[in-house]
Amino acid sequence: MRKEYDFAKSKNARDIEHLAKLHSIPTGKTRIVVKPDNKIIGSPKKKNQIIR
């Protein structure tokens, strides 16, 4: 990896056709984002280890 990157020629995602399609929100659908923290993700793993 480089220490520095030049973003002078970068484009917005809306300007790139295939990325713009990903960012568009289809009608009739709702986007839901769930971001559980590490404590919640790790708790079932610990329970499974104890049961086994």
The boundaries of the domain holding residue 37 are 13-51
- The DSSP secondary-structure symbol of 10 reads -
At residue 27, the 3 state secondary structure works out as coil
6 within a domain of the structure (yes/no): no
32 within a domain of the structure (yes/no): yes
The two three-digit tokens of residue 11, written as one number: 């484009």
Burial pattern 21-32, b for ≥16 Cβ within 10 A else e, equals eeeeeeeeeeee
State the pLDDT at residue 6: 92
The two three-digit tokens of residue 2, written as one number: 């480089």
pLDDT at 17 over 80: yes
3 within a domain of the structure (yes/no): no
pLDDT category of residue 46 using cuts at 50, 70 and 90: low
How far, in Å, CA of 41 to CA of 3, rounded?
A: 33
The mean pLDDT of 23-43, rounded to a whole number, is 78
pLDDT category of residue 8 using cuts at 50, 70 and 90: very high
Task: Kindly report the pTM of this predicted structure.
Answer: 0.32
The two three-digit tokens of residue 35, written as one number: 């971001």
